[in-house]
């Protein structure tokens, strides 16, 4: 049976990886058609020079960084609070936010923003996108950081306080050193989730806050531009490395 | 001698369940005090109330005459050696020992740390990490870490439980010697009666959230005030309401006047340093007589007489 | 545990209240309003939208979504279980294979969907290859149908099943399979009689993790189904953008959330009494 399983696994891995590999391969195709006509970097150059792509990429990066900082800080505090004093209700709420379909999250946040615009002089824009990204990624941070916290003994903070540290010092000196890799892993996770999000972003973005996924979506809808292949290849490589790094950090020191 | 630590009518409730019920204790300065009792009797809870990790439902904890009920752990001059040692894994031995000194901004951090490590005989291992040390060495780091702060009372939560049996016996002597050398009051919590008896100047036996007896080891062992204390600190032969310890119980083929009962030998157990003769009395109760090797062989089925000196009978007020 | 100041969890509660609960409550409120003349919201308050949800047209969409999600889940179980089994028996390379399964999943969902567009569209790689090989004359309509959406769903959510099943298999005592062999069971028999029953909780968890997102899927049917395969997710999005009928879209969203919550409650109860 072992042999059958191995053969099957090879096919399954091919199924999972070939589409992306082919996409990446054809990003180096000189022709814009799906016939191989030689190696070329022209699409990468086109992507580099495209102003719309550049602006979208810049927006995506800015949003991702802002959302990461906010969500990681808030999520870590939440995970820490749950670690010390659990709250079944809050935990249930977090899980509920995780399973809520993205489209529902998107439209409900849109409804919230439109409703508040009656009082605040705001519009849809970068800030609404950032808020939306924090909203959906917080639960992920809590999960990753909580998993890490479960490997840390709570007695360490008691020992620190016993030796003269205040609550905050106890956290910084006893828990944080072991927790840091988990926080970093969570931050990288938010970065990826935020950068990649399309559904929620498309609902709450304004005219000035077009993100890279939105551009890719528009291009994909319209037709097959090999520029997307190039951008896709870059994103795959970039995020693949980011996620590998995140997992390496999350696993590090979990003795 | 004045008391450095006084517990006055401490009560602690946990989720509707009364864990400590009117616990009062006075612990003298400079001695080795033990709190001993079975699992769940409340001894660890008492320790945590003293350290400040829990607040009493009622009653007071007085340190040096001041009530410290509402002081946070870092504001109390007591230090705890945890059962798991709770060493900071990311700090070296020196880092661990210096931790409290740095938090409290004490001067001469290096010198004090060095002296503390000499006291526990760990000089030379300052730059190791806890993961690289043996269990016994980790315990000594925990001791040094707490002792370096010169607390009023050092609280030890089952410090020998995690050690190998051979190491345990050795550490008993070392801890006792250490206490005498530094002069700090030690309060040890344990479920092992041998530990308490061998190390303490005075001890308290706890059961079900209250204190059954306080006294020196000799007092509590030889004159237990309740059947629980008698049973907990050693074995007791209960014969028709009278309690006699096995080492005071004699057995012979000839009948004796006075305190004596007929019995039939059920087994004769060789324990290496002594022999336990187990016999069943006519009441159905079993008695164990501890005799030296070579003081006669008793075979199962033999009819014998169990006798004792009436002065050795345990009586409870 | 030591004390924690009561306000410590307040920001988390604030997040939950403002950015999760309040939006959903607003949507629920909107579901009871009526579409305004120019696409906004207006009185009267009415249950009309929910009545409309029960219209056969929309029930068909709901039905299709459930069927698609079930089909995708079933395929994921069929395709994912052997993969999880393989990884759990791979000794030292377990983690490597696990990474290989997870890696594509984390690199941009949109890009992965686009990869299938690139392969399957009329001018895509598959058709071009088949035509140039002379096997077909006209391009095959591989895209913009239920099959393509199903493919996309399975491709997207397969790792969601592999992970929990793998976790369950990993925790299984290897001595059980040895005991089965010792008692005379061949590899296939021990697979069906020992491994599969013990892996059932993991399969159940994985199936739930696949079914629920598939039910509410939007991007996959949108890109791979064209306008033709409409699932609930597309319906909701459509009502909030093109059709500008927020009350009706809200009602559909509430219905979807109700199903999701009901399923979760079922799973919660199952997890507490595993029988």
Q: Which of residues 31-60 of A touch B (CB under 8 A)?
A: none
Kindly identify which residue of chain A lies nearest to residue B52, measuring between CA atoms.
A162
- B5 with B79: CB under 8 angstroms? no
- A149 with A218: CB under 8 angstroms? no
Distance CA C275, CA C270 (A): 7
- B279 with B265: CB under 8 angstroms? yes
Q: Would residue C158 count as lying in a domain?
A: yes
> Any bridge partners for residue B63, and if so which?
B5, B66
Q: Would residue C7 count as lying in a domain?
A: no
Domain B3-228 carries which CATH code?
3.40.50.300
Pairing status of strand B286-291 against strand B275-281 = antiparallel
Q: Would residue C245 count as lying in a domain?
A: no
Residues in chain C, overall count: 275
Of B252, B209, B199, B244, nearest to B224 (Cα)?
Answer: B244
- The pLDDT of C181-199, averaged and rounded, is 86
CA distances (Å), B162 to each of B85, B134, C5, in order? 10, 11, 34
C120-157 exposure pattern, b = at least 16 Cβ within 10 A, e = fewer: bbeebbbbbeebeeeeeeebeebbbebebbbbbbbbbb
Residue A159 C-alpha, separation from nearest chain B C-alpha, in angstroms: 6
Q: What residues of chain B lie within 8 A of the CB of A155, using their CB?
A: 82, 84, 86
C191–A contact, CB cutoff 8 A: yes
Q: What residues of chain C lie within 8 A of the CB of A78, using their CB?
A: 9, 11-12, 15
- The pLDDT of C42-60, averaged and rounded, is 88
Residue C1 scores a pLDDT above 50:
no
Q: Would residue C30 count as lying in a domain?
A: no
Q: Would residue C260 count as lying in a domain?
A: no
Q: Which of residues 113-142 of C touch A (CB under 8 A)?
A: 113-119, 121, 123-125, 128, 132
**Residue A248 three-state SS:** helix
B79–A contact, CB cutoff 8 A: yes
Q: What residues of chain B lie within 8 A of the CB of A162, using their CB?
A: 51-53, 73-74, 78-80, 146
B129–A contact, CB cutoff 8 A: no
Residue A250 scores a pLDDT above 90:
no
User: pLDDT of C148-182, one tens digit each?
Assistant: 999 999 999 999 999 999 999 998 888 888 888 88
The answer to whether B86 contacts A173, with C-beta atoms less than 8 Å apart, is: no
- B98 with B46: CB under 8 angstroms? no
- The pLDDT of C131-160, averaged and rounded, is 88
B14–A contact, CB cutoff 8 A: no
Bigger pLDDT: C67 vs A119 = C67
Share of chain B above pLDDT 70, in %: 99
What is residue A71's predicted lDDT score, i.e. its pLDDT? 95
What is residue A238's predicted lDDT score, i.e. its pLDDT? 85
Kindly identify which residue of chain C lies nearest to residue A20, measuring between CA atoms.
C115
User: pLDDT of B148-199, one tens digit each?
Assistant: 999 999 999 999 998 888 889 999 999 999 999 999 999 999 999 999 999 9
The answer to whether A177 contacts B82, with C-beta atoms less than 8 Å apart, is: no
Q: Chains with 3 or more CB pairs closer than 8 angstroms to A? A: B, C
CATH of the domain at C162: 1.10.3720.10
User: Structural domains in chain A?
Assistant: 1-41 (no CATH), 51-251 (1.10.3720.10)
A224–C contact, CB cutoff 8 A: yes
Kindly identify which residue of chain C lies nearest to residue A132, measuring between CA atoms.
C19
- The pLDDT of A32-47, averaged and rounded, is 84
Of A188, A219, B17, nearest to C113 (Cα)?
Answer: A219
Kindly indicate the confidence band of residue B317, based on its pLDDT and cuts at 50, 70 and 90: low
Helix axis angle, C146-171 relative to C196-215, nearest 10°? Answer: 140
Bigger pLDDT: B222 vs C36 = B222
Q: ipTM value of the model?
A: 0.88
Q: What fold characterizes domain B235-312?
A: OB fold (Dihydrolipoamide Acetyltransferase, E2P) (2.40.50)
Lowest mean pLDDT segment, chosen from A2-11, B166-175, C41-50: C41-50
Tokens of A113: 């923003």
Tokens of B266: 């059920």
Q: Report the first-to-last Cα separation within chain A, whole angstroms.
A: 35
Q: What residues of chain B lie within 8 A of the CB of A164, using their CB?
A: 74, 100, 103-104, 149
Residue A239 scores a pLDDT above 50:
yes
Domain extent, residue C209, equals 66-229
Q: What angle do CA A103, A137, C151 make, to 5 degrees?
A: 50
Residue C275 scores a pLDDT above 60:
no
Q: Would residue C96 count as lying in a domain?
A: yes
Share of chain C above pLDDT 70, in %: 97
Q: What residues of chain A lie within 8 A of the CB of B82, using their CB?
A: 155, 158-159
Q: Which DSSP string corresponds to B14-77?
A: ETTEEEEEEEEEEEETT-EEEEE--TTSSHHHHHHHHHTSS--SEEEEEETTEE-TT--GGGSS
Q: Would residue C236 count as lying in a domain?
A: no
Tokens of B203: 């001890």
Residue A84 C-alpha, separation from nearest chain B C-alpha, in angstroms: 13
Kindly indicate the confidence band of residue C63, based on its pLDDT and cuts at 50, 70 and 90: very high
The answer to whether A103 contacts C237, with C-beta atoms less than 8 Å apart, is: yes
Residue A190, C-beta contacts closer than 8 angstroms, at least 6 positions apart: A64, A67, A68, A71, A72, A75, A133, A137, A140, A141
User: pLDDT of A139-171, one tens digit each?
Assistant: 999 999 999 999 999 999 999 999 999 999 999
- C111 with A27: CB under 8 angstroms? no
The answer to whether B88 contacts A156, with C-beta atoms less than 8 Å apart, is: yes
A176–B contact, CB cutoff 8 A: no
Q: Would residue C253 count as lying in a domain?
A: no
What is residue A255's predicted lDDT score, i.e. its pLDDT? 40
Bigger pLDDT: C187 vs A14 = A14
For chain B, the structural domain boundaries read 3-228, 235-312
The answer to whether C253 contacts A1, with C-beta atoms less than 8 Å apart, is: no
Report the number of distinct structural domains present in chain C. Answer: 1
How far is CA A243 from its chain centroid? Answer: 9
Kindly indicate the confidence band of residue B69, based on its pLDDT and cuts at 50, 70 and 90: very high
Tokens of C245: 């009928």
A180–B contact, CB cutoff 8 A: no
Residue A205 scores a pLDDT above 70:
yes
Residue B8 scores a pLDDT above 90:
yes
Residue B274 neighbours by CB distance under 10 Å: 14
């Amino acid at each position: 049976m072992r042999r059958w399983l191995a053969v099957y696994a090879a096919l399954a891995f091919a199924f999972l990886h070939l589409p992306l590999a082919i996409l990446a391969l054809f990003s180096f195709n000189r022709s814009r058609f799906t016939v191989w006509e030689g190696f070329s970097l022209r699409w990468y150059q086109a992507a580099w020079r495209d102003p719309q792509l550049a602006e979208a990429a810049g927006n995506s990066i800015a949003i991702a960084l802002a959302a990461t900082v906010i969500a990681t800080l808030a999520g870590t505090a939440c995970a820490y609070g749950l670690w010390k004093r659990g709250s079944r209700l809050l935990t249930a709420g977090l899980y509920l936010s995780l399973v809520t379909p993205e489209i529902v999250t998107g439209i409900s946040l849109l409804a919230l923003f439109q409703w508040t615009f009656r009082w605040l002089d705001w519009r849809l824009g970068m800030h609404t996108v950032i808020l939306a990204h924090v909203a959906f990624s917080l639960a992920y941070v809590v999960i990753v950081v909580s998993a890490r916290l479960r490997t840390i003994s709570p007695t360490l903070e008691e020992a620190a306080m016993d030796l003269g540290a205040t609550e905050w010092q106890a956290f910084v000196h006893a828990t944080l050193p072991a927790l840091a890799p988990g926080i970093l892993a969570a931050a990288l996770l938010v970065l990826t989730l935020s950068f990649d999000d399309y559904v929620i972003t498309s609902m709450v973005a304004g005219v000035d806050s077009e993100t890279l996924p939105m551009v890719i979506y528009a291009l994909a809808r319209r037709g097959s531009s090999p520029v997307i292949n190039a951008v896709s290849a870059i994103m795959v490589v970039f995020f693949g490395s980011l996620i590998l790094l995140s997992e390496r950090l999350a696993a590090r020191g979990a003795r | 001698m004045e008391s450095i630590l006084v517990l006055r009518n401490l009560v602690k409730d946990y989720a509707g369940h009364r864990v400590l019920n009117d616990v009062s204790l006075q612990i003298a300065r400079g001695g080795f005090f033990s709190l001993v009792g079975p699992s769940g009797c409340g001894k660890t809870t008492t320790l945590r109330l003293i350290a400040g990790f829990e607040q009493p439902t009622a009653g007071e904890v007085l340190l040096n005459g001041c009530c410290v009920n509402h002081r946070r752990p870092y504001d109390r001059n007591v230090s705890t050696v945890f059962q798991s040692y709770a060493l900071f894994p990311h700090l070296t031995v020196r880092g661990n020992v210096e931790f409290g000194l740095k938090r409290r901004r004490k001067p001469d951090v290096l010198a004090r740390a060095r002296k503390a490590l000499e006291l526990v005989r760990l000089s030379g291992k300052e730059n190791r990490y806890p993961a690289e040390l043996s269990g016994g060495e980790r315990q000594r780091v925990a001791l040094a870490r707490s002792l370096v702060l010169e607390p009023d009372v050092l609280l030890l939560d089952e410090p020998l439980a995690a050690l190998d049996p051979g190491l345990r016996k050795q550490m008993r002597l070392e801890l006792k010697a250490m206490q005498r050398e530094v002069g700090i009051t030690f309060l040890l919590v344990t479920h092992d009666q041998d530990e308490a008896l061998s190390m303490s100047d005075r001890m308290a036996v706890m059961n079900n959230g209250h204190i059954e007896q306080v006294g020196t080891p000799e007092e509590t062992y030889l004159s237990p005030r309740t059947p629980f204390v008698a049973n907990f600190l050693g074995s007791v032969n209960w014969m028709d309401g009278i309690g006699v310890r096995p080492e005071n119980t004699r057995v012979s083929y000839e009948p004796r006047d006075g305190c004596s009962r007929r019995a039939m030998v059920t087994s004769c157990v060789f324990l290496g340093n002594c022999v336990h003769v187990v016999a069943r009395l006519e009441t159905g109760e079993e008695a164990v007589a501890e005799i030296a090797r070579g003081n006669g062989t008793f075979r199962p089925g033999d009819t014998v007489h169990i006798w004792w000196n009436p002065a050795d009978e345990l009586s409870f007020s | 545990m030591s004390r924690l100041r009561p306000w410590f969890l307040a920001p988390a509660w604030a997040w939950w209240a403002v950015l999760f609960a309040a939006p959903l409550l607003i949507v629920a409120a909107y579901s009871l309003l009526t579409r305004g003349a120019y696409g906004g919201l207006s009185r009267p308050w009415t249950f009309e939208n929910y009545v409309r949800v029960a219209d056969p047209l929309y029930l068909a969409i709901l039905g299709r979504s459930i069927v698609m999600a079930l089909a995708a889940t079933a395929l994921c179980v069929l395709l994912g279980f052997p993969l999880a089994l393989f990884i759990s028996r791979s000794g030292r390379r377990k983690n490597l294979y696990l990474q290989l399964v997870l890696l594509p999943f984390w690199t941009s969902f949109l890009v992965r969907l686009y990869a299938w567009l690139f392969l399957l569209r009329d001018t895509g790689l598959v058709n071009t290859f088949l035509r140039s090989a002379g096997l077909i004359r006209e391009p095959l309509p591989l895209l913009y149908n239920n099959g393509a959406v199903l493919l996309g769903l399975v491709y997207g959510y397969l790792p969601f099943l592999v992970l929990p099943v793998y976790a369950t298999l990993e925790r299984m005592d290897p001595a059980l399979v040895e005991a089965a062999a010792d008692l005379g069971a061949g590899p296939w028999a021990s697979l069906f009689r020992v491994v599969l029953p013990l892996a059932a909780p993991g399969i159940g968890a994985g199936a739930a993790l696949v079914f629920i997102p598939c039910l509410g899927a939007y991007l996959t049917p949108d890109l791979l189904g064209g306008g033709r395969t409409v699932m609930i997710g597309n319906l909701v999005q459509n009502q909030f953008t093109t059709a500008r009928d927020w009350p009706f879209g809200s009602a559909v969203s509430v219905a979807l959330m109700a199903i999701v919550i009901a399923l979760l409650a079922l799973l919660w109860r199952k997890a507490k009494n595993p029988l």
